[in-house]
Amino acid sequence: MEHANPLLAEWTLPFGLPPFSEIKPKHFPEAFRAAMAVQTAEYNAIADNADPPTFENTIVALERTGRLWSKVAGVFYNLLGSCTNELLEALALEFAPEFAKHHSELRLNPQLFERIDVLQGQADRLDITSEQRRLLARYHLNYVRSGAKLDPAGKQRFSEIEQRLATLHTVFGQNVLHDEDSWHLPLSQDDTAGLPSFLLDAAASTARALKIDAPYAITLSRSSVEPFLTFSSRRDLRQQAYEAFTTRGEHPGPHDNRSLISEILSLRRELGRLMGYETYADFSIDDTMARTVEAADAQLKPIWAGARHKAEAERALLEQAQRDEGANTTLEAWDWRYYAEKVRKAAFDLDEAEIKPYFVLENVAQAAFDTASRLFGLSFKPRPDLPSYHSDVHVFEVTEGDGQPVGLFMQDNFARPGKRSGAWASGLEGYQAFDGKVVRPIILNNNNFVKSDPTLLSFDDARTLFHEFGHALHALLNRSRYPTLSSVRGDYVEFPSQVYEHWIAAPETLRHYAVHHETGQAIPEALLQRLTTAATWNEGFHTAEAASAALLDLELHTHPEPESLDIAAYEQEFLARIGMPREIALRHRPAHFQHLFTGGYEAGYYYYLWSAVLDADAFAAFREAGDIFDPALAARLKDMYELGDTKDPMDLFIGFRGREPDPAALLRQRGFETT
């Protein structure tokens, strides 16, 4: 008999796609509790098995568990990020500690860990493949890092910390979303000085969507506020927008995240020490390519030094442009993008308003698909017959070779109320093929472009689309037989996304896909050359934003007394100590730094720059070959996407490049000094 709760019924749509139209918030509590009960029973059956542990009855059995949980949680967390409402947010807050407790109990089951521990001790004598041996080692390490070797009191405290952190992470993210959804800047016709037509069109579309009594509006979506800061000649309005954007999460009242930060950091420090490490950062980074805080810091320091030096040179040019304009003011943070655009236009005869008409969203998306086709042999067929959770979402069936199925790809490109800011990749299903049946992935990309007709992207927006699509390709191409081995080390996870960005910046791509939205003409060669020449302009600013945030992350997660931390004062002291130019802010200030404080990239924001070294050096190989679609290199790159965590990531890179990565490749790419 068909189950009344669609989350608990069998899904019959192609690829196991959820019946989104039937799923309501009221269905989740029952489904969550059923999924947790099933998963607990599955784990207990393995732990209580009277037979001696074998790879099949323990590790493979564990890989079979949690299917219902993954199914329900995948839908819930996608909706929570992409299409949330008060009911979903309330459920997230209510269940966060319960979920944390549930997963802690699974990982802290002593009988289950004993079976895994016995197998790990026998690993060299077991008749298993190298992939299976790596899977066993990963299970053992995951359990150890989840507290399996702690005494009973330690296990209890570990679980309590995880439960409290789950609640704090949820509240932190909801507070940021509240500030983003509750602010907009209405603009009258008199407020639009300097704004190009593409930005006016987008701002008009935003005002209509918000149903406000103004012809135009700007929101705190990065793709809305940053173009406004770039073009608006109304300095007073630039300041308003900038301050609203950079103070998300730090307004006094019930949505102030500053009071949460010390508690989050203190709990993480306690967790790290409970696990035998001096700091949380030491604990976190021990299971990465970098392995130590010192190695991550050593990679960041020359990048930061090069970025700061270049940013200081950029600042001098901006101040000169300000003087040339006759402005009797000091350069401030809300002026940087405005004058950077003026300098770019003067120095390179190039401005964003000239470029943007050539970057139509649909063309950029097609460029991403076609690049994947040329590199990896993939095809993307629109499936408008398949359901999605919102009308903005486009669904594609992905195949390779002569039509062999790969999976489903869902692309959700537009900003809207109830959707968190930023851009990200997620999944409803992952690849697996260990149990006599191949399960195909269902992968999602979320962007936050401002919808208009047509939707025109900045060059940074286009790179963002390619970045997230690189994550999607990593998941779609994954061929790890076992689900656990599809999760790669944290400072490697950004490599497949960041290396893919290079193809949208390549002249070979732009000549074909950068087509004017009105005339249909390809981007003129002279404009393309100016765009290429200007590629490293303002790179000091952008890298300084990111590198300083990564350095702050490491400092916060090695701080000896976070419980007494005044985060505002500490931020200012930190920026002064590293010599941050006054006119540049952290890319993510602490009170809205969701990478750190909603979980996932804590002590790991350096991942982006660590991976940037890998991607710069990897793409250099294509340039050295003289063909950005070189078949041999593309095949080796596809291996890196397909192999997941079945091999050590450094071994994967060496297999591609023939040597370890060269950090100077990134400095050269961004126009920094390499001495």
Which residue among 194, 220, 246 closes a domain? 246
| Catalytic sites, residue numbers | 468
Dist CA 464 CA 422 (whole Å)? 10
Verify that 114 and 220 share a domain, yes or no.
no
Alpha helices in 48-151 (DSSP H): 61-64, 67-82, 86-107, 110-121, 130-145
**Assigned domain for 419 exists:** no
Question: What region does 390 belong to: left with phi over 0, alpha with psi -120 to 50, or beta?
Answer: beta
**Assigned domain for 200 exists:** yes
**Assigned domain for 665 exists:** no
The tens digit of pLDDT for each residue in 565-581 reads 999 999 999 999 999 99
Q: Given this model, what pLDDT does residue 674 score? A: 63
Dist CA 600 CA 6 (whole Å)? 29
Q: Note the maximum CA span of the chain.
A: 84
To the nearest 10 degrees (0 to 180), the angle between helices 631-642 and 459-477 is 70
The tens digit of pLDDT for each residue in 290-307 reads 999 999 999 999 999 999
Which residue among 149, 168, 202 closes a domain? 149
Q: Given this model, what pLDDT does residue 294 score? A: 97
**Assigned domain for 120 exists:** yes
Task: Tell me if residue 257 falls in helix, strand or coil.
Answer: coil
**Assigned domain for 552 exists:** no
To the nearest 10 degrees (0 to 180), the angle between helices 567-578 and 258-274 is 80
The radius of gyration of the chain's CA atoms, rounded to the nearest angstrom, is: 25
Which residue among 246, 264, 280 closes a domain? 246
Q: What is the mean pLDDT of the chain?
A: 96
How large is the average pLDDT for residues 154-169? 97
Q: Give the CATH number for residue 141.
A: 1.20.1050.40
The tens digit of pLDDT for each residue in 52-109 reads 999 999 999 999 999 999 999 999 999 999 999 999 999 999 999 999 999 999 999 9
Verify that 209 and 132 share a domain, yes or no.
no
Verify that 105 and 204 share a domain, yes or no.
no
447 in Cβ contact with 414 (< 8 Å): yes
**Assigned domain for 348 exists:** no
Q: Given this model, what pLDDT does residue 504 score? A: 97
- Overall number of domains in the chain: 2
Dist CA 103 CA 35 (whole Å)? 12
Verify that 38 and 144 share a domain, yes or no.
yes
Verify that 97 and 33 share a domain, yes or no.
yes
- Where residue 600 falls among pLDDT bands split at 50, 70, 90? confident
Verify that 121 and 227 share a domain, yes or no.
no
**Assigned domain for 59 exists:** yes
Edge-to-edge strand list for the sheet holding 404-414? 378-382, 393-400, 404-414, 442-449, 424-429
Dist CA 655 CA 643 (whole Å)? 12
210 lies in which domain range?
Answer: 183-246
Verify that 198 and 118 share a domain, yes or no.
no
Verify that 37 and 130 share a domain, yes or no.
yes
Dist CA 315 CA 334 (whole Å)? 13
Q: Given this model, what pLDDT does residue 328 score? A: 87
**Assigned domain for 643 exists:** no
The tens digit of pLDDT for each residue in 393-432 reads 999 999 999 899 999 999 999 999 999 988 999 999 999 9
Verify that 60 and 145 share a domain, yes or no.
yes
